[in-house]
Structure 1
Amino acid sequence: MDKPKSFFMFCSGDFATKLPVPAAFVEDHGLHRLRQLLLHPITQPAATSWAVKIKKINGIFYMVGGWSKFVKDNDILEMKVLSFHIVGNSTLHVAIYGHDSCLELGREQQSVEQPAVRQLRFVKRLKEYHIADQRLEIPKDFSDAMGIGSKGKIRLKDWKGRKWAINVTVRNHGVCAFSAGLKKFLTANNLEVGSILFFDFDMDSGDAIKVLLLEGRDGEEMLARAIYGGFIPS
């Protein structure tokens, strides 16, 4: 039997402090094992998300942590209905329905407390150790925003549309790196020392990172825009 991909919750009681989540949904998708879970309202810009946590209280799973901020920032009031749909391993797309049962389109402008819309992307020039040691460090800004360290695996989607399962290891000071599976990806794409790769979070799939091979001036310009570690600020 397929795992449920969605669930609905009615906002009542102390929902603004913590929201109960169906136990079957949490356990089927391993949400209680994640360090953080990202909530993305479907009417917000693609890169906008709020980080929350799943915690078991008196035998019931609840959404806590940043949940109160998510409620406040999105004007979620009592009697509204929320629809959650899992995308990838650690992102829930959220539809918010008002008292008239219609989908709310959200504010045209958010308060200054709204998380900034960020394009999650980074660039790397391949070095010898990337290929020989089968590891490639991920900029901390990128891995923290995506919660990569809690996943253990990620998929890379190359420019030919092929997807590759890559292990993620957490190294010193919480720095994550692509590890097992990386060499296979590099070899299959005939990538060598000096190749410049552009990594971009794929919001369409929600659980993959798109990879492009940049050549010539395009690659050098992208490297020049990057900050330490290769992260490209939006």
Structure 2
Amino acid sequence: MPQSTQANRFLAARQHDLALEVANRGKLAIESYWAEVAVTTVQAYQMHEFHPLHPDLEHRQQAIRHGQETLALAAQLKAPRILTVCGFGQDIADSPFERTLDFFAELGQAAREKGIEILIEPLSSKRAAAMTDPHEIVHLIEALHQPDVFALALDTGHLLDSGFELNQFFAQWQFPIRELQLKGPASAPPNPTLPLTQWLQSLPALPDVLCVEHRQPVSVADFEQIVAWLRQSIEVLL
């Protein structure tokens, strides 16, 4: 969000009736969020560094600790879910499916105790060397056999970067999507040239969460325009 202070970001969120998705980078000051704004999802953001596909054992163990810490933060923030990935980068350990299955099976125990859902998001093939196909993530979720704990998140930017034609992809997709992150190729902010309404109309059901996520900074005017465009696209479907 482009507002200069956290207080102004909270104010903008309340003015636009938005919830926030926050990133746990290891130093999340949760007390600043209490009673200020709803938090819908907490990202286990350090899984860009510590993840179950890392070739180093200590990094894989740190990924479990980071996931557990993120679950604890979500519980304190009263956020119903956390967002995770399987791996990051091109240097990965062997047997990626089996490693991620073991990782999430262990993390799922802590999630169930706290009543927190774990979302698993496939990154693009440009960002990771394995577990980037959405169908692989569906297979992983089904293999975990805990539909009340694990669910799917998709990101339009990662899908575009992986070469999917999204009108066709969403028209053929049948597995539930809990959260849909919206951005353009190469992590660009979403804009009105993206056929969002067509994508959403193609889905068997609307996701519980629509999240704007991008790396490139935007102005306050751009932020206002993005919010207005998204609301208009969603209202067409209601």
| Structure with larger RCO (C-alpha < 8 A, sep 6+) | 1
TM-score, normalisation: structure 2: 0.27
Q: Which has the higher strand share?
A: 1
Q: As a proportion of its length, which structure holds more helix?
A: 2
After TM superposition, the score normalised by the length of structure 1 is 0.27
Structure whose CA Rg is larger: 1
